[in-house]
Structure 1
Amino acid sequence: MKKKLAMVLTVTMLVTALFTGCGKEKEKSASTEASGELSGDITFWHSFTQGPRLETIQKAADEFMEENPKVNIKIETFSWNDFYTKWTTGLASGNVPDMSTALVGQVAEMINADALIPLNDLIDDIGRDKFAKSTLAECSVDGNNYAIPLYSHAMVMWIRKDLLEANNLEVPKTWDELYEAAKTLTKDGVYGLSFPCGSSDFQATNFLNFYVRSGGGSLLTDDLKADLTSDLAIEGINYWLKVYNECSPKESVNYDVLDQATLYYQGKTAFDFNSGFQIGGVEKNSPDLLQYIDCYPIPTIDGSEQKGITTSNQPMVIWKNSKHPEICAAFMRKLYEEDTYVKFLHAQPVGMLPAVKGIADTESYKDNATIQQFSHAEEVISSQIPGGTAIGFEHGPSIQAGILTNQHVIEEMFQDIITNGTDVKKAAKAAEDKLNALFEAAQQ
């Protein structure tokens, strides 16, 4: 992936971004005094909006500021969707933070916009061998690592053991088995499986990617063109339309990830696809159901062993506009100190798995009731991380993969089919053409 200055925001903003996305880099002012003491203010944007994670990050920042009294860390929190809008619209004016979290696909766009600084030295300082090579490679270009993974998780299939047992059903291993089980369980106020395709999120892209990748395909060709009209992709589109029509609430045509997950949290769906964050959601909303939930690998078309599809290695980045990158790097090192790191992971146990080797084997990490109770779920999720990638990253990091998830074209395609009755193949071709036009514009 070549680093270019085009940003993909919307079709009408592409040309503007090309000329304004790269402002003149500001001179870095010294953030370390002659004595070696850190001094300066930084802003940290993150999307850990849930209470425990937000509180743990704030506590780490407070401790860091106590240790470095001339440093001030201002933390601002945005939802993932709001964060994307915030940084893409703010980049041209320089209204971006010193450091932030991001999604892997967004990092590809940030690199493309020449908005980040490499973190090679930070990673080497922490210990390059402590991170899986694949997690570092996702956000690397030309030997430079532009992000560092804070935690990992993978998408898996969540079930309700009690509902399966009451209906004499086995855990589905194929997509056909899942459909039949979901159809059977759509009764008594419970939906078998919700299909979300709200255009403010990339959940429909995620679900279609599950199906296509499980069949050995991809939503991108080897030369990074959109591929929504292959036989496998059309089969996947029709599969999810069938699920929507027969097993899903009709409101899910507008669902984002939280709407989708909340149904499972509240016991209103029998199956869902998500990470270990489902555990915390169920615990908060329906604690009596905790004993009945568990997860298994995502189904395959033929029932063969699933080795992983969608993995998220949650990255942190330092922005090129930062006046104090040394403070950012020092604070990041703080987050990886074992005591701080384990406390952070325990804020969402099983939801956030260590991105650093060896932490999962420590007594301090294991000493958590949720991790002990959901040892099977942790084992399943961990088994799916090595074989998965971020959506579209099976071909390596690319701006095309970022556009695939961030522009919501596939969501709009499903909405067009469901709402307007547009022919599946016609809608798929239109979406494919739109994505390819965005890909081409981003590389000019």
Structure 2
Amino acid sequence: MNMRKIFSSLIPLVAGISLLAGCNEEGKKSEVNAGMPKDGQELAGNIIFWHSFTQGPRLEVIQQAAAEFEKNHPKVKIKIETFSWNDFYTKWTTGLSSGNVPDLSTALPNHVVEMINFGALQPVGDLIDSIGRDKFSEASINEGTVKGQNYSIPLYSHAQVMWIRKDLLAKNNLPVPQTWDELYDTAKILTKDGVYGLSVPMGSNDLMATRFLNLYVRSGGGSLLTKDLKVDLTSPLVQDGIKYWVKMYKDTSPKDSINYNVLQQATLYYQGKTAFDFNSGFQIGGVKANSPQLLGEIDAYPIPKMKVGDPTPALETSNIPMVVWKNSKHPDIAKAFMKTLYDKDRYISFLKAVPVGMLPAIKGISEENAYKEDPVIKQFKHAESVITEAAQRGTAIGYEHGPNVQAGVLTNQHIIEKMFQDIITNDTDPMEAAKKAEKDLNNLLDTIIQ
């Protein structure tokens, strides 16, 4: 295990685990929630915004919003810093001890629970109310809610779906797979002529193998966490999932995918080198940039089920939020700026920076002509509907039992990825490898949650 990485992630978890348990009385007393500034109120101060919008169009919308805000509030300066998601996690976990955190930032749902546990965030319920609480889905708000306090506000949503190559299926007279067995058989047939049926990523610096395993297990009505929030890798359903992905790796995947992260995995599909992949609507932009000639040959369909007649499962949804940090000296400015990002015209421009990749987090936007008449959104209307339905049903990985710290350990420590690598590289028995990984993860949870 990478003990340095584990230690860095345990700092916020161990220090603040009592907040969810209701024991952090000092944190409650010191918690200050600067309210939303009034319309026309003069604002003054400098704020820092960390975000992970590394793609040009999204970054440009944020920069334009900051420039306009500064113009309207001459005594305000907004410094924008951009980090990849992996770098961001390291940045904030290590920055907590030194106070080197921003005024506001984007986050991932599992990050938010860790941030709340450390007492690192200010509530943003007043911001949500000023925009209109009824405009947001209750599920997306609840992901950042503890004891009635809202600590995050969703900016956009997406969900994991199955991406296909229509041309390859048509050429081989194959239907779109509806079950996991059908997916395996179809992917194996399509593994030829320089194309892999499905790449299975297992890189130990990302959560991709955890994601794939979670999709399989959730589709069978199970979970990687028990109801009492212990990691389960040894139940029959989870063991079936482990064996399924090992078989798929051996028969339909490039062997290098044992070390793939999310970008390496997606790039194969972008380049037309895989027939299937699991991802969000961000796939469209990647294919457009890498293989525009294939743009008309891709589409999204629901994640496979165990059996065709099974009910539609709740799988993985990501409601990407923003947060205000407790250390901020100007939370009123941070909230006022955040609110401008939801101004209808700007918000639609932001979403259209990655059309179909970023779905609206507030109701009514998808019915606006400026949104739905976007050429990419019109072309991928079917894919958008599939992703929207999946987003409405799902949760973050491990959140099927509600927001919890354990889900962050499950996804951030990459122990499941190392388990798969052990099975593949050392020919370790899946049950033996799973027992070790399960024990390691549960020992971590026991260390964190006393």
- Output the TM-score relative to the length of structure 2: 0.93
**1:59-208 correspondence runs (5 A):** 59-208=64-213
Query: Equivalent residue of 2:54, what SS?
Result: coil
Which one is further off, 392-401 or 112-121? 112-121
Q: Report if the CA contact (8 A) 2:218-2:314 is conserved.
A: no
2:20 alignment counterpart: none
Q: Aligned pair in 2 of structure 1 residues 65, 424: CA closer, same or farther (>3 Å)?
A: same
Q: What is the alpha-carbon distance in structure 2 between the residues aligned to residue 29 and residue 385 of structure 1?
A: 32
| Distance change in 2, residues 1:19/1:161 (3 Å) | closer
Q: Please report the RMSD computed on the Cα atoms of aligned residues, expressed in angstroms.
A: 2.2
SS at match of 1:129: helix
Counterpart residue number, 1:408: 414
Q: Does 1:50 align with 2:50?
A: no
Please state how far the C-alpha of 1:367 moved relative to its aligned partner: 2.4
1:254 aligns with 2:259: yes
Is structure 2 residue 428 aligned with structure 1 residue 422?
yes
Asked if 1:318 is matched to 2:324, the reply is yes
- Structure 2 Cα separation of the partners of residues 355 and 29 of structure 1: 24
Letter in 2 for 1:406: N
Summarize deviations over 1:261-296 as a string: whole Å, max 9, x none: 000000000000000000000000000000000010
Q: Deviations over 1:290-335 (max 9, x none)?
A: 0000010000111224344100111100111111101110011000
Q: Helix, strand or coil for the counterpart of 1:228?
A: coil
Change (3 A) 1:61 1:15: closer
Aligned to 1:4: none
Q: Is the 8 A contact 1:154 1:308 kept in 2?
A: no
Residue pair 1:26, 1:321 contacting (<8 A) in 2 also: no
What does residue range 30-49 of structure 1 map to in structure 2 within 5 Å?
A: 36-49=41-54
**Residue 344 (structure 2) pairs with residue 338 (structure 1):** yes
Residue 27 of structure 1: how far off its partner (Å)? 8.8
Aligned to 2:274: 269
Identical aligned residues as a percent: 63
For 1:38 and 1:110, locate their aligned partners in 2 and report how far apart those are by CA, in whole Å.
Answer: 27
Tell me: CA distance 1:288–1:130, structure 2 relative to 1, closer, same or farther (3 Å).
same
Change in CA separation of 1:20 and 1:10 when aligned onto 2, cut-off 3 Å:
farther
Residue 356 of structure 2 is matched in structure 1 by 350
Q: Name 2:247's counterpart in structure 1.
A: 242
In 1, distance between residues paired with 2:160 and 2:418?
A: 23
Aligned residue for 1:394? 400
Superposed CA deviations along residues 359-385 of structure 1, whole A, max 9, x for unmatched, are: 101111112100011101111111111
Q: How has the CA–CA distance of structure 1 residues 20 and 295 changed in structure 2, closer, same or farther, with 3 Å as cutoff?
A: closer
Distance in 1 of aligned mates of 2:361 and 2:36: 29
Q: In structure 1, how many angstroms separate the alpha carbons of the residues matched to 2:368 and 2:6? A: 49
Q: Unaligned 5+ residue runs, structure 1?
A: 1-7
Structure 1 residues 88 and 244 mapped into 2: Cα distance closer, same or farther (>3 Å)? same
Answering whether residue 234 of structure 2 is matched by residue 229 of structure 1, we say yes
Q: Deviation per CA, 1:366-419: give whole Å up to 9, x if none.
A: 121000111011111111112100000000000001111111111111111112
Deviations 1:84-110 (A, max 9, x none): 011111111111111111110111111
Could you tell me how far 1:231 is from its partner in structure 2? 0.3
In structure 1, how many angstroms separate the alpha carbons of the residues matched to 2:255 and 2:402?
A: 36
1:36: Cα distance to partner?
A: 2.7
Contact 2:218 2:313 in 1 (8 A): no
Report how far residue 32 of structure 1 moved. 7.5
Distance 2:109 2:405 in 1: 11
Structure 1 residue identity aligned to 2:305: T
CA distance in 1, matches of 2:193, 2:9: 49
